[in-house]
Amino acid sequence: MIPQELKYTREHEWLAADGGEATVGITAFAADALGDVVYVELPRPGQAVAAGQPCGEVESTKSVSELYAPADGEVVAVNEAVVADPGLLNSDPYGQGWLFRLRLASAPELLDAAAYAALTGEAA
């Protein structure tokens, strides 16, 4: 199930905007494709990131995937819990498995749930 209230990127990140900030994570589809995540590298608080640019990585036993910034902005917080327990990305990708918070520099262009569902072939 794809949460209706979130926005999505083609690189399988989700973004929950509230005011000028947003929480970012990866989708259940991406987490499932990676398999059991065993290592997460996140950007640093204070780091400026640019939409579509790599800002971290997610590693499973089988593969490594880059994490792309879903929007331009500055990282204001990172989820240390997911660094300590990367399995949260698999067990709760839209909740405890969030990755970082971003202060948005501009309004990002993102997919809504229906468009993301069409991209992944899932039910919205």
Partner 1 sequence: MLTPFAGWTMPLRYGSELAEHHAVRGAAGLFDLSHMGQLEIDGADAAALLDHALVGRLSAVQPGRARYTMICAPDGGILDDLVVYRLEPHRYLVVANAANTAAVFTALTERAAGFAAEVRDVSARWALIAVQGPRAAAILAPLTGADLGSLRYYAVDPAWLAGRPVLLARTGYTGEDGFEIYCAPEDAPGIWAAVAAAGTPHGLVPAGLACRDTLRLEAGMPLYGNELTARVSPYEAGLGRVVALDKPDFVGRAALAARREQATEVLVGLVSGGRRAPRHDYAVLDPDTGARVGTVTSGAPSPTLGRPIAMAYVAADRSATGTVLAVDVRGSRETVTVVELPFYRRTQEGR
Q: Smallest gap, in angstroms, from Cβ of residue 21 to partner 1?
A: 29
Element of type H or E holding 8: strand 7-8
The 3-state DSSP class for residue 88 equals helix
5, 20, 35, 95: residue in contact with partner 1 (rule CB under 8 A): 35
Map the footprint of partner 1 across residues 91-120, applying CB under 8 A: none
Residues 102/76, Cβ–Cβ less than 8 Å: yes
CA-nearest of 103, 109, 30 to 73 is: 103
Distance CA 98, CA 83 (A): 10
Q: Which one of 14-22, 53-61, 104-112, 113-121 is the stretch in contact with partner 1 (CB under 8 A)?
A: 53-61
Q: How far is the CB of 103 from partner 1 (least distance, A)?
A: 27
Residues that bind partner 1 (CB under 8 A): 32-33, 35-36, 38-39, 41, 57, 59-62, 64, 90
